[in-house]
């Protein structure tokens, strides 16, 4: 069956995207359509803070894009040498918190040692941080996107753990999103399942998906990568057929495969 994945291809992957690969292992043909575009901002400020680890109690990364912003700050050879020779080790003496395996892999590629990759959501990560940190630490540094949810900052600040945030990328709708969706529905027809990967994806895609699928909308098995996305889908009146147990290709593919073998639920 055809599965539409409303997400960006994973950066730096060799071979097929893991979501396409894992769905193929269940006998389903998946297609990726990028939903978001990103513009990096405040990189000079980010660079200054990255090279002053003594001013912070640790780092927090909740998205691959934030790690990509860090990588951009290390492109100059002299910066990269300074990072490798001393700065990354100073950060590694502190806690480097992450959400999700994809972000953890990118953090490791910077030479940093991540904690929390199995947390899956910012909410769960905040509990881990609160278990490990106290109110006497220097501020944790959290480079993030322009439309981040406030769950983690609210939880940390509400419990007295100091936090400093910096917006390092802005999120917008991908300029070719509607055109790519129209082409997909014209060439492939209505997919058996559509997977959303973020509340932003729901916001930018849902109206077009509803219009293109028409009366077949109720036949689509809608899948969510995690509970936050599931909540955003439900808030828009979508019937969510399945949610990945963990935000990985393996778990999402298994959830979709199971849902496709069941009758469409009535919501």
Using CA atoms, how far residue 22 sits from 25, 209, 248, in Å, is 5, 24, 10
pLDDT at 149: 76
Residue 263: predicted pLDDT: 79
CB distance 71 to 110 below 8 Å = yes
Residue 57: C-alpha distances to residues 20, 79, 167 (Å): 39, 22, 19
pTM above 0.85? no
Best CA proximity match to 221, nearest among 199, 241, 235: 241
CA atoms within 13 A on the CB side of 214: 7
pLDDT computed for residue 13 by the predictor: 52
pLDDT value, residue 254: 97
**What's the average pLDDT block by block, 10 residues per block, for the chain (267 residues)?**
91 74 96 94 97 98 94 94 96 96 93 92 93 96 90 95 97 95 97 95 96 95 94 95 93 96 75
């Amino acid at each position: 069956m055809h599965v539409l994945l409303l997400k960006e291809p994973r950066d730096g992957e060799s071979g097929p995207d893991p979501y396409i690969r894992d769905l193929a292992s269940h006998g389903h043909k998946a297609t990726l359509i990028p939903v978001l575009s990103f513009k990096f901002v405040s990189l000079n400020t980010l660079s200054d803070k990255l090279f002053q680890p003594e001013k912070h109690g640790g780092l927090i990364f909740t998205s691959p894009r934030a790690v990509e912003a860090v990588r951009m700050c290390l492109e100059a050879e002299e910066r990269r040498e300074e990072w490798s020779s001393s700065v990354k080790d100073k950060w590694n003496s502190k806690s480097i918190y992450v959400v999700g395996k994809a972000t953890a892999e990118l953090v490791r590629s910077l030479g940093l040692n991540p904690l929390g990759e199995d947390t899956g959501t910012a909410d769960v990560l905040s509990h881990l941080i609160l278990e490990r940190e106290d109110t006497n630490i220097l501020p944790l540094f959290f480079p993030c996107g322009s439309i981040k949810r406030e769950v983690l900052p609210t939880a940390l600040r509400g419990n007295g753990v100091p936090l400093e945030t910096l917006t390092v990328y802005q999120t917008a709708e991908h300029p070719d999103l509607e055109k790519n969706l129209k082409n997909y529905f014209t060439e492939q027809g209505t997919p058996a399942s559509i997977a959303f990967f973020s509340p932003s994806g729901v916001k930018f895609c849902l109206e077009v998906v509803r219009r293109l699928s028409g009366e077949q909308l109720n036949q689509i098995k809608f899948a969510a990568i995690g509970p936050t996305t599931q909540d955003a889908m439900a808030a828009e009146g979508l019937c969510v057929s399945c949610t990945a147990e963990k935000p990985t290709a393996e778990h999402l593919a298994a959830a979709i495969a199971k849902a496709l073998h069941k009758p469409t639920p009535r919501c």
